[in-house]
Amino acid sequence: MSNFLVVRHGDVERWTLNDPATRNALNDSMVVALFEACLRAKHDETLRVVVLTGAAGAFCAGGSLGGFASAIGQPLQPGETDPLLAVNRSFGDVLHTLSELPQLLVCAVDGPAMGGGLGLVCCADHVIATERSLFGTPEVTLGLPPAQIAPFVWMRLGDAAARQCLLQGRRWLAAEAKSLGLVNDLAADGALEAALHDTLQHLNHAAPGAVASTKRLLQRLRGRVPDLRDEAALAFTAALRGPEAQAGLVAFARKQPAPWLNTGTDSA
């Protein structure tokens, strides 16, 4: 079974992250499939709307660390090029390409949208979430920087909320995410499809050529998302091979406090 599904109805495509066992975590093959879908859509003048969603009651749990397991806490040898740089940068390529789609991009979120999943949401033109949805970037609590998604979170939420999210590992319920402007429409649990139908009916009034032109103007007005793909890949892979990530991920797996967590009650 494919972990990335594409279903087309007329001029609307639905892209589904489809790996329920991992809550649709972004593994290498899923990232490649998403990037290829973006490249194809970019040149498809018959496509008007892309709906990005997740399967089985989750949007996306973030990046899958399974392929990185052997590298966690393992420094490179002198002069060795890190093979993980290209892997991490490829997700940055997805975010940039997704944010520049000429079509209207709708994210339909049910359940968690964490880490890289939140980055995908921040690329959308319109976000619908159910009341049980949860948003957050837990990377720093694991000893990792949320590097590739940082520019997109910052562009979507603004500096203050982005700092709260990225630097503190905060999690937001759907209603909180709506108050921040991350979510546009909030649907009751079980009513996501009905809300999506209403949104697509409304978006149908927008002419596709005018939408593509307006998106280009808006990109120029606000400036392109800062291209930090190489720098972000370096920051992420360096942290992954360092002692903090090793300790943080071991603690997470064992459901223990991270070693940097101050559990004392005294304050300075």
Verify whether residue 193 is a known catalytic residue.
Answer: no
What is d(CA 256, CA 132) in angstroms, rounded to the nearest whole number?
26
80 alpha-carbon distance from chain centroid: 30
Residue 24 · residue 54 · CB < 8 Å: yes
Radius of gyration of the chain (CA): 19
Put simply, whether the predicted model's pTM sits higher than 0.85 gets the answer yes
Which tens digits make up the pLDDT trace of 120-141?
A: 999 999 999 999 999 999 999 9
Q: What's the average pLDDT block by block, 10 residues per block, for the chain (268 residues)?
A: 95 98 97 98 98 98 89 91 95 97 98 98 98 97 97 95 95 97 97 98 98 94 85 96 95 94 62
Distances (CA, A) of 144 to 83, 135, 156, 263: 18, 17, 21, 21
Which of 139, 193, 231, 244 is an active site residue?
139
Which strands form 134-136's sheet, in the order they lie side by side? 112-114, 134-136, 171-173
Which tens digits make up the pLDDT trace of 187-225?
A: 999 999 999 999 999 999 999 999 999 999 998 887 678
